[in-house]
Amino acid sequence: MNLQYYQYLATYLENTKVPDGLNQAQQRNFKRQAAYYLIINNQLYRKNKKQSEYLLRIIKEDELEQGRKEGPEEALEQSLDQYIEKITKNIRNAQEKQKGYYDKNIRPIEFKIGDQVLLYELAKEKVYNDKLREKWKPLFRPRLQRAGNLQTMNSRRKSPQKSSEYRLTKEIL
């Protein structure tokens, strides 16, 4: 559809007058096409078959003059692309902000001779293997102890940790 056809639609919907120069078949076709359009506040809206009047798409005449042919699907794709770009930009900014905050507040851990260090991995009775012991040979002395009452990890913590599982502890030499 070109701009002239949209102007014919606008005048027909305002005045219910079919444009001149159309035969009866073209007039019927024009009236059938006009059923999918509506004018609200001097703007031409296109109704889709399954949409209500609240879900109408605005057709701007200046876009048509510039030669942009845009249906509801293309407009939806364009708006979705812009929305996705905006979301990814916001996510990237939030991640950078979180990373900067983490990097600013991170402090290196300092160990002293004689401190006991608990591993994140729980070494259970039947699962324990000697591979960890080989890795720690030069620097650490590993021990497998029952974790009913564990010693404190540092001097700041006064109450012992309690656990019912085996934990692998290492001691700095």
* pLDDT tens for each residue of 16-58: 777 777 788 877 877 777 777 777 666 666 666 555 544 444 5
Distances (CA, A) of 146 to 31, 95, 158: 87, 41, 19
| Run of H or E including 67 | none
Give dist(CA 58, CA 39) in Å, integer: 10
Q: What confidence tens digit (pLDDT) does each residue in 63-111 have?
A: 455 555 555 666 677 778 888 899 999 999 999 999 988 888 877 777 6
Q: Which residues pair with 39 in a beta bridge?
A: 44
Strand runs (DSSP E) across the chain, as ranges? 37-40, 43-46, 57-59, 116-118, 140-146, 166-172
Kindly report whether the global pTM for this prediction surpasses the value 0.85: no
